[in-house]
Amino acid sequence: MPPDERPIPRYIAEHPRETLPYGRWAEALANHFLEACRRVEAEEEIGDPGPITWFPDRTYGGRTFVPATSHTSNGFELFGHVSFKREHEGAEARDFEAYADYTDETAAANPDWSLDLSDDVIGSWRGPQGRSGEIALVWGVALVPNGAVATTELGPTTTDQCILAEDRFTLVSLDNYTGDYIEVKLWGPNGRELAGESLYEEE
């Protein structure tokens, strides 16, 4: 095969290892996420967090990331993730870190949305000729029926995919690289595209 004219990383994160968090594990993760929520600096009274919605885990760079969202009593949404390390499969999780932020842009207030997306930058990547980009963690909910798989597209290249779990997905992809930005696409079980949305607002 000839040299790749677009040598960028693809499918760099491990696929989900576990089911969506529940029971004592969900409670342990919630303690870290809620602590991060309490550290959020807001100019508005965002209210108290409600039940937490968990998303599929993805492991990148030796850390496992479990995204989460929570709607507040004042109509805002808290979003973020809890990450940790494991020495090996079955080992106890350690070195927890958590991130949280908030938004007033919610799916309930935007009935035209087909995907409800959140994201955070979790790393960087340097390519050839001094080019660089960001590694983005993207999680979301499919708001249209019959979705099976979500993918990230960076320009002409598919960079990650995740099977939906209760209409939720988590993706890890190179982003903001040589003028290309992530677009998330939702696919049905027959391979038909059902929805697509950029992480960035159009001008």
Instruction: Give the HSE-up count for residue 156: Cα atoms under 13 Å, Cβ half-sphere.
Output: 3
Query: Which pLDDT score, from 0 to 100, does residue 200 have?
Result: 81
* CATH of span 23-106: 3.10.450
In whole angstroms, how far apart are CA 121 and each of 59, 65, 107, 108, 136? Answer: 14, 12, 22, 25, 4
The pTM of the full predicted model, rounded to 2 decimals, is: 0.94
May I ask the CATH architecture of the domain 115-197? Answer: Sandwich (2.60)
Delimiting residues of CATH 2.60.40 domain(s) in the chain:
115-197
Task: List per-residue pLDDT tens for the chain, 203 residues long.
Answer: 677 777 899 999 999 988 999 999 999 999 999 999 999 998 889 999 999 999 999 999 999 999 999 999 999 999 999 999 988 777 789 999 999 999 999 999 999 999 999 999 999 999 888 889 999 999 999 999 999 999 999 999 999 999 999 999 999 999 999 999 999 999 999 999 999 999 886 54
Domain(s) of CATH 3.10.450: residues in the chain: 23-106
Return the HEC string of the chain.
CCCCCCCCCCCCCECCCCCCCCHHHHHHHHHHHHHHHHCCCCCCCCCCEEEEEECCCEEECCEEEEEEEEEECCCCEEEEEEEEECCCCCCCCEEEEEEEEEECCCHHHCCCCCEEEEEEEEEEEECHHHCEEEEEEEEEEECCCCCCEEEEEECCEEEEEEECECCEEEEEEEECECCECEEEEEECCCCCEEEEEECCCCC
pLDDT given for residue 201 in this prediction: 63
Quick one: which of 141, 49, 133 has its CA closest to 98? 49
